Structure 1
Amino acid sequence: MTQANFSDDTQTITEVVTVDLVSDKPGVITTITTSETPASQFEDIKDQILTILSELPAYLSNFFTEYQKPLVTIGLILAGGVSIKVMLGVLEALNDVPLVAPFFELIGMGYTGWFVYRYMLKASTRQELLTEIDSFKEQVIGQNS
């Protein structure tokens, strides 16, 4: 049995080599088996984990840079969903307060009446409303459609 130690600046490798000789022919090697010690296996695993952890910030930075727009879109969709849930919860809580629900209905009916009076009764005001809607679409989309 021979034991070999190899070392360099970064790691030490300990390896156990077993050599069997043929008894009828002196000097002929039949099998060579090597086995690593458990300590060296542990060191290899530790080095791999440390390498992965040290490269993780660069990997995440590259991933975010490459997929920035889809990640921002997904984040905005999730934030919108959460804000809608919160708004519905607040409205539900306000609905349980006495006289608040009828007050909101009264405000809604009043605004609807004002909107019909302001924009729907005359052809000129309907045209004004269409112009405002087209202007808003142009601002949002960025082009005339």
Structure 2
Amino acid sequence: MTQANFSDDAQTVTEIVTLDLVADQAGVMTTVTTAETPTSQFQDIKDQVLTILSELPAYVSNFFADYQKPLITVGLILAGGISIKVMLGVLEALNDVPLVAPVFELIGMGYTGWFVYRYLLKAANRQELLTEIDSLKEQVVGNDS
């Protein structure tokens, strides 16, 4: 059994080499086994992990640059689903409070009556409503010029 130490500027590697010699035949070896010390294996693993972690910001920024639109779309869909779930939970909690649901129904019927009286009974008021809808649509969508 021989032991060799190899020195490098960056790290030290220690190898243990085991040789089994055949006694019947001169100069014939049957097995050669090399075993690295656990510290050098740990050093290799540590170097690989540090390399991956040092390059992680570049990988993440490249991934986001390549898939920016799909990621934003998925994020908006998830945010919309979560907000709908929260809104339904709040409304269900409000429905459990006595007299809140009937009061909201009265408010809704009152607003509907006012809306019909204000905008839908007369032709001039309907034209005013269409003008307001068109201006709102231009603000949201933009002009088709």
Give the TM-score of the pair, scaled to structure 2.
Answer: 0.73
1:116 aligns with 2:120: no
Q: How many residues align?
A: 144
The reply on whether 1:60 has 2:51 as its aligned counterpart is: no
Find the counterpart in structure 2 of residue 36 from structure 1: 36
What amino acid does structure 2 have at the position aligned with 1:132?
Answer: E
Q: Which residue of 2 aligns with 1:139?
A: 139
Deviation digits for residues 72-119 of structure 1 (CA, Å, limit 9, x no counterpart): 333232222222222222221111122111110011111111111222
| Separation (CA, whole Å) in 1 of partners of 2:30 and 2:96 | 89
Report the equivalent of 2:130. Answer: 130
1:91 and 1:24 mapped to 2: Cα distance? 91
Matched, 1:6 2:6: yes
**Partner Cα separation in structure 1 for residue 72 and residue 88 of structure 2:** 24
Residue 93 of structure 1 aligns to a residue in which SS? Answer: helix
Distance in 2 (CA, whole Å) between partners of 1:129 and 1:70 is 38
Provide the residue aligned with 2:75 in structure 1: 75
Deviation of residue 134 (structure 1)?
2.5
Shift, 1:39, TM fit: 3.1
Equivalent-residue separation in structure 1 for 2:128 and 2:7 (angstroms): 84
CA distance in 2, matches of 1:11, 1:58: 27
**Residues 101 and 19 of structure 1: CA distance in aligned 2, closer, same or farther (over 3 Å):** same
Q: CA RMSD in A?
A: 3.0
SS of structure 2 residue aligned to 1:9:
coil
1:96 corresponds to 2:79: no
Moved more, 99-108 or 129-138: 129-138
Structure 1 unaligned residues grouped into runs of 5+:
none
CA distance 1:114–1:19, shift in 2 (3 Å): same
Distance 1:131 1:5 in 2: 88
Amino acid at match of 1:99: L
Change (3 A) 1:89 1:56: same
Residue identity matched to 2:101: A
My pick for the range that moved more, 114-123 or 1-10, is: 1-10
Whole-angstrom distance in 2 between the partners of 1:14 and 1:142: 72
Using the size of structure 1 for normalisation, the TM-score is 0.73
CA distance in 2, matches of 1:19, 1:142: 83
